[in-house]
Amino acid sequence: MNPRVKNVTPLSEYRLEIVFSNGEVGVHDCRHLLDLGVFSELREEAYFR
């Protein structure tokens, strides 16, 4: 069974810390998304957070 996302916390430099229901924790870098369509609005880091 796939774990579910339990919590997401924004970090500096457009990264997200993701905690899963099985206790695993990962960090996802979202910078590559900032030039794509609706994600471009997130370039303002305060808005991203």
Q: What is the pLDDT of residues 15-29, one digit of tens each?
A: 999 999 999 999 999
**CB-based burial of residue 19 (10 Å sphere; 0-12 exposed, 13-18 middle, 19+ buried)?**
middle
What is the secondary structure of the chain as a DSSP string?
Answer: -PPPEEEEEEETTTEEEEEETTS-EEEEE-GGGTTSGGGGGGGSHHHH-
Residue 39 one-letter amino acid: F
Place of tokens 């069974």: 1
What pLDDT is stored for residue 35 in this prediction? 94
**Average model confidence (pLDDT) across the chain:** 95
**Which is nearest to 7 in space by CA: 21, 25, 19?**
19
Global pTM?
A: 0.84
